[in-house]
């Protein structure tokens, strides 16, 4: 799944560290509250579309941010919360940063958690902008840990243009009971945002083809091919009850990816398109629609049928 841009955003100081030949952590120093970006930086293009930026000749060496469009959403994200956003990262020559690039070229927005790994000046921009809005942020060498600032070369400031797509409200399915599921597989739906329980230890033979059952039906629009969807999920192997992956087990933070375009396994592409947002879907995926004859890692063999329980929280 696509994670490159998100990883770069969470470690922006490393862009400078690489330039000056030093490594280190991602702890950042404070930046002035309410700092505003250089007025000579001009952003053009509609919000939620890839932007262009006109740069002055002189590089700005102080981190700052400026809300370009405030947005019309009901709430803005809070420190420590999660936000869905598109972003494009530029170097001062007006070119896109080769390490970070643009989410618009990678198939859709990213889910970003505003923890201490994200530079403070970017967190300020996020918390000041609501859904549908755009902010501009200059991330200069003062975003580096103090011990690295003296070594960092001048003129390496990065410019982020960020479009806030959504501040997700739900972390679990929000619908009504629907299909009972698949024979041999047990799903316990506790309700609310509590993690469901999936049991796949069974003597029943696995289905030969793809099976998709909506055990909780949401009331949102149907997922379309090419959209990015925000999901929670758990994955187990049919017959063994072995869990090989789960967003719930990793702290309950959803993930986001493009659906219907080959970015994930075929069983997900085929089984989740058309599902109403807010639904909980049970998928039984045969090897040819999963990881194929070679399997994946140490847990998934090429003969394994995979069982996923997927909550579709949002689609963009």
> For this structure, is 65 an active site residue?
no
CA atoms within 13 Å, Cβ hemisphere of 49: 6
**Catalytic residue, candidates 27, 104, 241, 244:** 244
Closest residue by Cα to residue 84 from 22, 9, 12: 9
9: left (phi > 0), else alpha (psi -120 to 50), else beta?
Answer: alpha
Residue 204 CB coordination number (10 Å) = 12
**Catalytic residue, candidates 291, 300, 304, 311:** 291
Closest residue by Cα to residue 233 from 292, 305, 307: 307
Residue 255 is encoded by which pair of tokens? Answer: 């993930």
Rounded CA separation 122/119 (Å): 6
Beta strands in the chain (DSSP E): 42-44, 52-54, 64-69, 82-90, 110-113, 134-139, 158-166, 176-177, 186-188, 197-199, 211-217, 228-237, 243-246, 255-258, 280-285, 306-315
> For this structure, is 16 an active site residue?
no
Rounded CA separation 300/314 (Å): 28
**Catalytic residue, candidates 90, 126, 135, 233:** 233
> For this structure, is 308 an active site residue?
yes
Judge whether 175 and 218 are in contact, CB under 8 Å: yes
**Catalytic residue, candidates 245, 255, 269, 288:** 245
Closest residue by Cα to residue 173 from 282, 257, 73: 282
> For this structure, is 104 an active site residue?
no
Rounded CA separation 300/292 (Å): 10
Burial environment of residue 28 by CB neighbours within 10 A (0 to 12, 13 to 18, 19 or more): buried
**Catalytic residue, candidates 112, 142, 308, 311:** 308
**Catalytic residue, candidates 256, 265, 285, 300:** 265
> For this structure, is 233 an active site residue?
yes
> For this structure, is 285 an active site residue?
no
What amino acid positions are annotated as catalytic residues?
233, 244-245, 265, 291, 308
């Amino acid at each position: 799944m696509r994670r490159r841009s998100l990883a770069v955003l969470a470690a922006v100081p490393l862009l400078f560290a690489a330039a000056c030949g030093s490594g280190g952590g991602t702890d950042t120093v404070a930046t002035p509250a309410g700092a505003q970006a250089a007025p000579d930086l001009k952003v053009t293009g509609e919000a939620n579309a890839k932007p262009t930026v006109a740069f002055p000749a002189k590089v700005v060496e102080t981190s700052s941010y400026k809300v370009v469009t405030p947005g019309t959403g009901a709430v803005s994200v809070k420190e420590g919360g999660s936000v869905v956003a598109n972003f494009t990262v530029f170097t001062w020559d007006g070119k896109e940063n080769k390490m970070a690039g643009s989410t618009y070229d990678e198939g859709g927005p990213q889910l970003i958690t505003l923890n201490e790994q994200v530079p403070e000046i970017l967190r300020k921009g996020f918390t000041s902008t609501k859904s549908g809005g755009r902010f501009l942020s200059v991330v200069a060498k003062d975003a580096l840990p103090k011990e690295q600032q003296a070594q960092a070369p001048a003129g390496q400031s990065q410019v982020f243009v960020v479009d806030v797509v959504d501040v997700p409200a739900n972390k679990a399915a929000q619908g009504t009971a629907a299909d009972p599921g698949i024979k041999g597989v047990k799903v316990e739906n506790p309700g609310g945002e509590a993690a469901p329980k999936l049991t796949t230890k069974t003597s029943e033979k696995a289905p030969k083809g793809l099976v998709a059952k909506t055990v909780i039906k949401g009331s949102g629009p149907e997922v379309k091919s090419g959209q990015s969807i925000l999901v929670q999920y758990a994955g187990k192997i049919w017959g063994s009850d072995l869990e090989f992956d789960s967003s719930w087990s990793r702290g309950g933070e959803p993930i986001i990816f493009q659906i219907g375009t080959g970015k994930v396994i075929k069983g997900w592409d085929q089984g989740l398109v058309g599902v109403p947002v807010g639904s909980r879907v049970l998928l039984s995926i045969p090897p040819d629609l999963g990881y194929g004859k070679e399997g994946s890692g140490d847990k998934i063999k090429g003969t394994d049928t995979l069982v996923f329980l997927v909550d579709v929280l949002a689609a963009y």
